[in-house]
Chain A
Amino acid sequence: MITAQDIVAGYAGTPVLAGVGLAAGDGAVVGLIGPNGSGKSTLLRTLYAALAPSGGAVLLDGESVAALPGGELARRVAVVAQEHPPELPITVAEMVLLGRSPHRGTFQAYTAADHRIAATALRRVGMREHAERGFATLSGGEKQRVLIARALAQETGHLLLDEPTNHLDIHYQHEILALVRTLGVTTVVVLHDLNLAARYCDELVLLDAGRVARAGPVADVLRPEVLEPVYRVGVRLVEDEECVQLVFRARQPAAAPVAATSSSPATTPSPRTAPRGGTRG
């Protein structure tokens, strides 16, 4: 269970979050969505105490993360963050074994059990055969899967992911998030793609300029009247088998479009959605 209350945070005097809350119940997958610069990653960083909020509190199963020692925190929360790939060589196996490091003392070597856990984690993301490869030689999707394996090897009850589907093709986007869903751990995931959020999250928190624009079950947040002012696009809902999906289109600007393109009004991305989209201005 992760709870954040009234978080105020920022970097070097630039405020980013102005009183933001979030609650992820046990085993729930909560998506953090919002436009660029709305504070998604900043909020995520406060959740694992990488950034100390200037106001508010983050609680992990009722305990303040600010009070937890680093090692203890790492045994409870695993993080898959965005980071530049390392310049120094490291193999996939070493990368995943790092997930076991919070469980081992200063002079203690990784045990046989640690290696088994790491191997199982790699198998779970389908990367066991690549254990001896250099991490730098992997494709984007493979790297992301290895980082998730590291988080799995950490054996924590909570998982934080910062845009885990970035740079992945559609296959891996779905594979990664479907995998996250099966884990059964309390998860907070930053997502850019609202359709992925719609399909794989239980609840969503929509941030807009450092404030929560709407939070709750997916169906309550992913509504045209909620999303359109925040993202400044036209939104239409489409029912898929088990969830809702979204179709977007540029909002037609209030002023007149460019005069030369008289044949098509403004920038309509997909001719298919245009006739059925209704008008908005």
Chain B
Amino acid sequence: MLEKAAPADDLGRSRRSRRTALWVGGLLVALVASVPVVIGLGPVPIAPSTVAAIVGHHLVGFPTEVTWSASEDSIVRLVRVPRALLGVVVGAALAAAGVVLQTLVRNVLAEPYLLGVTSGASTGAAVVILFGAGAAAGGGALTGSAFLGAVLATGVVFLLAGVRGSVTSVRLLLAGVSVGYVLQAVTSFLIFWSDAPEGARDVLFWLLGSLAQARWSAVAVSAGVAAVSGVVLMAMARRFDAMAIGDETARSLGTDPARLRAWALGVVALLVGAVVAVSGGIGFVGLVVPHVARLCVGGAHRRLLPVAALIGALFLVWADVAARLVFSPRELPLGIVTALVGAPFLILLVRRMRAA
């Protein structure tokens, strides 16, 4: 009787693919449409059509006639475009990293900063901000020091959690949290110790995250790292599906859970380190966006990773607009905006979860 069902029962494959295609397509369109609008918004408003013309002029030389001012040109070319692109990269990277980490430690509260990446980057940044040769150090030293701090902190977390042996989710969580606390203490101590009066404020601003550091060089480096990481993580996607259920299940389906965890954590650490170094500790994106993406397309990582990345990019680009405009001309740290928007979202999700 059961055998009589339609022979071509595809378990809703076509419906699911259609749904994913709709989400990916819709989000892509929204993102591509958002970018010129977002670039136009700011203390000096520029129409999206002008933005498109400036970009087109420089990129493909299409509107040959220059109908905009030189200042508009340089604002768009040197400030706003790299800033918007950095927002896309950082948002996508944090969201994808959040998806992977929640899967690897099988904890819905995991987020990219769990590995001590941000606290390490913060300590590295604080060293340069407080004790660097002032203006001479410049953005390069700050970014480099932050990245170094992120990588070193993650290395320590790895060692503590015993990646070489078998790093379980609990050990990883505990190692990440303890390293995070120690580094926070170090950063606070550095602030306390230094005499620079604005130092504390600058460090705080950096800790809360901002895209103000966006330069073409920063965008290029972080976009490159993000693209490579994205490909590697997508290659691991199906293994993540099995990992999400349990180590034993992963093993019985042909994946060595300890090895996958070690490799994936390495990729995520590089990815998060690369974006945190240029943007500071932007919270909540990596925590909330993965949950939103799961509601959209379910838990299969081949669909989840791209959709989460797109949502993260879209979210961060618009959060940055809010950060720039709400107290214009003063700029709000981005982390404040993402937390204010992200936290209610999380509460909403918790309520939904209970109902389900």
Contact A132 B254 (CB under 8 A): no
Q: Which listed residue, B5, B8, B244, B302, touches A88 by the CB 8 Å rule?
A: B244
Question: Once the chains are docked, how many angstroms separate the CA of A77 from the CA of B299?
Answer: 25
Question: How far does the alpha carbon of A98 sit from the alpha carbon of B245 in the complex, in Å?
Answer: 10
Stretch of B123-131, B178-186, B192-200, B234-242 lying at the A interface:
B234-242
Contact B12 A132 (CB under 8 A): yes
Could you tell me how many residues of chain A have their Cβ less than 8 Å away from some Cβ of chain B? Answer: 52
**B248 contacts A98, CB within 8 Å?**
no
A275 to B197, CA, bound (A): 92
- Cα(A89)–Cα(B349), bound, Å: 13
For residue A167, which residues in chain B have a CB less than 8 angstroms away from its CB? none
Query: Would you call A131 and B12 a contact (CB within 8 A)?
Result: yes
Give the contacting residue for B13; candidates A86, A87, A96, A115; CB below 8 A: A115
Name the contact of A83 in the complex, choosing from B8, B248, B294, B299 (C-beta under 8 A).
Answer: B248
Interface with B: A105-113, A207-215, A233-241, which one?
A105-113
Would you call A122 an interface residue if the criterion is a C-beta within 8 Å of the partner chain's C-beta atoms? yes
Q: Verify if A104 is at the interface (C-beta below 8 Å from B).
A: yes
Mark out the residues of chain A between 77 and 123 whose CB falls within 8 Å of any chain B CB in the assembled complex. 77-79, 81, 83-84, 86-91, 93-99, 101-102, 104, 106-107, 109-110, 112, 115-116, 118-120, 122-123
Q: Given A88-B244, A88-B299, A90-B244, is A116 in contact with B10 using a C-beta cutoff of 8 Å?
A: yes
- Please give, as numbers and ranges, the residues of chain A lying within 8 Å of B255 by CB-CB distance: 70
Assess whether B106 is in contact with A131, with CB atoms less than 8 Å apart: no
Contact across chains for B11 and A93 when beta carbons are under 8 A apart: yes
Q: A88-B108, A98-B245, A106-B235 are in contact. Are A79 and B252 (CB under 8 A)?
A: yes
Least CB distance from A128 to B in Å reads: 7
- Whether the Cβ atoms of A101 and B298 lie closer than 8 Å is no
- Bound together, the chains give a CA A104 to CA B238 distance in angstroms of 9
Q: Is the C-beta of A219 less than 8 angstroms from some C-beta in chain B?
A: no
- Binary contact readout B285-301 vs A (1 if CB under 8 angstroms, 0 otherwise): 00000000010001110
B12 touches A81 (CB 8 A): no
- The interface bits of chain A over 173-193 (1 if a CB of B lies within 8 angstroms of the residue's CB, else 0) are 000000000000000000000
B294 and A74: CB pair below 8 A? Answer: no
Q: Does B356 contact A (CB under 8 A)?
A: yes
Question: Is A73 located at the chain interface by the 8 A CB criterion?
Answer: yes
How many residues of B are in contact with the other chain, CB < 8 A? 37
Chain A residues in 8 Å Cβ range of B252: 48, 50, 74, 77-79, 81
Asked if B254 and A84 sit within 8 Å, CB to CB, the answer is no
Q: Which residue of B lies closest to A75 (CB)?
A: B254
Assess whether B2 is interfacial by the CB under 8 Å rule: yes
**Which chain A positions have C-beta within 8 A of B5?**
123, 128
Q: Is the CB of B356 within 8 A of A137?
A: yes
B249 within 8 A of A: yes
- Interface presence of B65 (CB below 8 A): no
Pick the contact of A116 from B2, B9, B108, B246 — CB < 8 Å? B9
| Residue pair A101, B253 in contact (C-beta under 8 Å) | yes
Nearest-CB residue, chain A, relative to B290: A88
* Closest CB in chain A relative to B81 CB, distance in Å: 32
Question: Which residues from chain A contact B294 at a C-beta distance below 8 Å?
Answer: 88-89
Shortest Cβ distance from residue B6 to the other chain A in the assembled complex, whole angstroms: 9
B256 on interface, CB distance cutoff 8 Å = yes
Shortest distance in angstroms between B230's beta carbon and chain A's nearest beta carbon?
13
Which A residues lie within 8 Å of B12 (CB)? 93, 131-132
A55 contacts across to B, CB distance below 8 A:
none
Contact B9 A94 (CB under 8 A): no
* Chain B residues within 8 Å of A265, by CB: none
B222 proximal to A (CB < 8 A) = no
Tell me the complex Cα distance, A90–B2, Å.
25
> Is A126 within 8 A of B2, CB to CB?
yes
Is B242 a contact partner of A101 (Cβ separation < 8 A)?
A: yes
Complex formed: what's the CA distance from A131 to B13 in Å? Answer: 11
**Are A134 and B356 also in contact (CB < 8 A) when A88-B106, A116-B9, A118-B11 are?**
yes
Contact between B249 and A94, CB atoms less than 8 A apart: no
Q: In the complex, what residues of B have CB within 8 A of residue A126's CB?
A: 2
B9 touches A70 (CB 8 A): no
Contact A83 B10 (CB under 8 A): no
- A contacts, CB < 8 Å to B: 48-50, 69-75, 77-79, 81, 83-84, 86-91, 93-99, 101-102, 104, 106-107, 109-110, 112, 115-116, 118-120, 122-124, 126, 128, 131-132, 134, 137, 154
Instruction: State the 8 A-B residue pairs at the shortest beta-carbon distance, nearest first.
Output: A74-B254, A79-B252, A71-B254, A70-B254, A83-B246, A119-B9, A119-B11, A115-B13
